[in-house]
Amino acid sequence: MSKWSFEVRSGRLEAIPNSMVQIVEEQKSKEAECFLHAEAGVLLNEAEEQIPASIPVNALPSLVVARIAHVFSWFFELLETEIDQNIKWNYFKVTFVNLNPLEISDTLADILTGTMSTNDPGLPPPIEQPPHLMLRQIVTTMRIFFSHLRGSVEIEDGRSYSDRCDWVSMTYSKAC
């Protein structure tokens, strides 16, 4: 079984990674409110397979749920096959982007630009980790991703500043 590395990144729209700039522009031209984009490839950020899912302005809740479910079922189907068979891909990434970001103060915007978190920096490097930690890391990565996803579309009292963002990505990659 391969060793895996897990990462969650988030930030302001103006600090989105270069690999996503063209996709953002395409989604803006479709007048999307937000979108999900999943990809898989051999070289990081060079997608060989990908699936975008636009969420239009005033989308019905059922459409939003359907688009989220479609992207994540595709993402996890490829990941599951790769974990079981180790046959093709070296990385999997899913990104959510809110093209109409929530209004936040300039001070908070400076704090959030390009933030990055990993699932547990106290763990040994992925190549040195025992296999039983993989499930824990997958769950932690998903929890962090979904917390940031929620923070990108909703501000509520008491919400942690670290969860607020315009985009969030979750990457699973084979460790070298």
* Domain spans of the chain, in order of start: 4-174
* Closest among 123, 159, 160, 116 to 138, alpha carbons compared: 123
Q: How far apart are CA 163 and CA 102, in angstroms?
A: 12
The pLDDT value recorded for residue 122 is 65
Count the helices and strands in the chain (H runs, E runs): 4, 6
Average pLDDT over all residues of the chain = 82
Q: Is residue 135's pLDDT more than 80? A: no
Strand duo 49-56 + 32-41: pairing: antiparallel
150 pLDDT more than 90: no
Separation between Cα atoms, residue 141 and residue 110, nearest integer Å? 24
Quick one: tokens of 146? 């979904």
Would you give the DSSP letter of residue 46? -
Whether residue 22 has pLDDT greater than 80: yes
129 in Cβ contact with 123 (< 8 Å): yes
Q: Within a 10 A sphere around the Cβ of 19, how many other Cβ atoms?
A: 15
Q: Hey, what amino acid is at 86?
A: N
Cβ neighbours, 10 Å, residue 121: 6
Q: What is the pLDDT of residue 140?
A: 82
Residue type, 120: D
With cut-offs at 50, 70 and 90, classify the pLDDT of residue 96.
very high
Q: 60-92 pLDDT, tens per residue?
A: 999 999 999 999 999 999 988 888 887 789 999
- Rounded to two decimals, the pTM is 0.85
